[in-house]
Amino acid sequence: MNIVTKFLFCFLLLSSLASCGSYYNFDKLYAKQDYKQAYQVLKNSGDTGLPSYQERELKVVFKLALQGNPVYLPILDATLSKPTPKNMTNWDSLARAWIRFLSASTELDFQNVVVMIPQKPIKDSSIEQLKLIIYTHSLLRLKRYQEVIATLKISSHTKNSSDLLYIKGVAEYQMDLLEESEKSLVSLIKISSNPTLKSFGYFYLGSIKEKEEKYDEAEDCYMKAWDLNPKNAELNFRLGKILQKKSYSDLHSRFYRASLRLNENMAESWYYLNMQ
């Protein structure tokens, strides 16, 4: 082996060892959910053409984008434009579905999201849970309630996810499965730390009690929802109706007017106000 060959061999060996060291540090930071630092370590490794780099890049950039920092959305877009490592097709498909889901508003949008969701399970538990949220939320928007319930009943993720419990509870409510819906919504309220989600949970609980003509309980649930999110036009309208049934002086009209301040197109509020 001449001196040039030896030099090249040593250089390649050292480069390989450096990459292994970078990946080791990346994997440790990634496992600790320190995704920003892990991404910096990965970028400094310099091995952008290797499948091992591309696999880690897609995972960490997707995780960073999920944390809500808008800086990483275009980076995720750029990452998805690169060739997909063979063992990352599920991650790639889900990342694309998630981006489509963020801007979905029409029935066609949600149909496209459902089609894009990968069928095979993803080993990362939090990503698999995200997949279920995107999938079942899209089915909910498409009014495919039975599919939502069937999917979430067999999922081990449902009981520990306030998002999934909410989606399940709403689907059950729409199917008039009020007892099951109440159980799902009560579980959601117990485990959720998100005030908006808890407010919606109380709102649907109030709707159940209203359907059952348990107006005191309905009022209590609606008021708890209102304390958490008073800017819900439909909620203000429902409170107005409940208070009107209970003959609370003219207090009900205040909630009708509040609903109109939030949504001037609440025709029912106009109707009930004109009945005064």
User: What is the pTM for the complete model shown?
Assistant: 0.81
Residue type, 73: L
Most confident of 1-15, 33-47, 130-144: 130-144
Using one digit for the tens of pLDDT, what is the confidence trace for 200-240? Answer: 999 999 999 999 999 899 989 988 998 898 878 787 777 77
Q: Give me the pLDDT at residue 31, please.
A: 94
Can you tell me the distance from the alpha carbon of 183 to that of 177, in angstroms, rounded to the nearest whole number? 10
- Beta strand spans in the chain (E): none
What is the pLDDT at residue 254?
58
Q: What is the pLDDT of residue 251?
A: 55
Please, what is the average pLDDT of the chain?
84
Mean pLDDT along residues 126-140: 96
Count other Cβ atoms within 10 Å, centred on residue 158: 20
Look at residue 253 in the predicted model and tell me its pLDDT: 56
Smallest CA-to-CA distance from 62 within 109, 113, 124 is with 124
Contact indicator for 236, 263 with CB cutoff of 8 Å: no
| Mean pLDDT value of segment 24-28 | 91
DSSP reduced 3-state for 266: coil
26-30: list long-range contacts, CB under 8 Å, 24+ apart: 26/56, 26/60, 27/56, 30/56, 30/59, 30/60, 30/63
For the residues 102-119, what does the mean pLDDT come to? 95
Using alpha carbons, select from 174, 110, 184 the residue that is nearest to residue 141.
110
Report the range of poorest mean pLDDT among 45-49, 66-70, 157-161.
45-49
> Which distant-in-sequence residues (6+ apart) come within 8 Å of 234 by Cβ?
203, 259, 266
Task: Specify the pLDDT at position 234.
Answer: 81
pLDDT above 50 for 163 = yes
Give me the pLDDT at residue 268, please: 47
Q: Among all chains, which residue has been given the structure tokens 């995704």? A: 35
